[in-house]
């Protein structure tokens, strides 16, 4: 069992090293885009399924409350939390529309639609991105190694792995980095930490 634990920890460590090589520029672009949206009085709408729904809620909470520094709350909404909305849309229309209908109602031009999908192929995430683009929203995808969502997003943050648990672990890391960088861009002097 110790060998299995060591193997899983090593997979995660190796993946983070690959992320340094493949993702740092895109992560920085995403953080700058999020900071600019907040500066302009816009909001971020986050969504995903299963573990990705939990990640959407986690990232929204970090922006809304605080991350590492005391600062004003930032407008972030997880579209995964209202069971009445989610079940009524699923029942009356389709589960594929649970995020797109909320984007239609809440999203405005310049807001950010931030979709999270390990596979990059979740139909409700893809539909939400299509609707968000029509509304003039900025689209950011946090994905595994791509999928259809990568081509729909203006910024695709693709974790270079096919192993679902490692991708999900990496998504938490990327979410934390985005929060930290956004706070730095908005509230800290450059170069001071």
Is residue 38 pLDDT above 60, yes or no? Answer: yes
Query: Taking residues 152-159, what's their average pLDDT?
Result: 98
pLDDT tens string 117-131: 999 999 999 999 999
**What distance in Å separates the CA atoms of residue 59 and residue 24, rounded to the nearest whole number?**
18
> Is the residue at 36 inside a domain?
yes
pLDDT tens string 7-21: 999 999 999 999 999
Task: Tell me if 36 sits within 8 A of 111, measured CB to CB.
Answer: no
117: CB partners within 8 A, 6+ apart: 48, 49, 52, 125, 141, 142, 143, 144, 147, 149
Query: Taking residues 28-55, what's their average pLDDT?
Result: 98
> Is the residue at 192 inside a domain?
no
Query: In the predicted model, what is the mean pLDDT of the chain?
Result: 96
Q: Provide the domain limits for residue 45.
A: 2-187
Is residue 193 pLDDT above 70, yes or no? Answer: no
> Is the residue at 10 inside a domain?
yes
CA dihedral sign of residues 16, 19, 20, 21 = positive
**What distance in Å separates the CA atoms of residue 86 and residue 4, rounded to the nearest whole number?**
38
Residue 189's pLDDT is what? Answer: 58
Is residue 191 pLDDT above 50, yes or no? Answer: no
For the whole model, what pTM was predicted?
0.95
**What distance in Å separates the CA atoms of residue 160 and residue 103, rounded to the nearest whole number?**
28
Closest by CA position to 100, among listed 83, 110, 85: 85
Query: Taking residues 59-81, what's their average pLDDT?
Result: 96
CATH number, domain with residue 79? 3.40.50.10490
> Is the residue at 193 inside a domain?
no
Residue 188's pLDDT is what? Answer: 80
Total number of domains in the chain: 1
Is residue 192 pLDDT above 90, yes or no? Answer: no
């Amino acid at each position: 069992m110790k060998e299995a634990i060591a193997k899983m920890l090593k997979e995660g460590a190796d993946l983070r090293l690959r992320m340094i090589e493949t993702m740092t520029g895109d992560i920085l672009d995403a953080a700058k885009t999020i900071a600019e949206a907040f500066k302009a009085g816009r909001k971020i709408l986050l969504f995903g399924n299963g573990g990705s729904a939990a990640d959407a809620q986690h990232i929204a909470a970090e922006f809304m409350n605080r991350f590492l520094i005391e600062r004003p709350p930032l407008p972030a909404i997880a579209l995964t939390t209202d069971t009445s909305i989610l079940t009524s849309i699923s029942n009356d229309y389709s589960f594929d529309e649970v995020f797109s209908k909320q984007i239609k109602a809440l999203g405005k031009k310049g807001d950010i639609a931030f979709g999270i999908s390990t596979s990059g192929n979740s139909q409700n995430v893809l539909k939400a991105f299509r609707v968000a683009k029509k509304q003039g929203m900025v689209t950011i995808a946090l994905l595994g190694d791509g999928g259809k969502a990568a081509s729909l997003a203006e910024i695709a943050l693709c974790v270079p792995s096919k192993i679902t648990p490692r991708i999900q672990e990496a998504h938490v890391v990327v979410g934390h980095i985005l929060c930290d960088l956004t706070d730095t861009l908005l509230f800290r002097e450059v170069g001071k930490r």
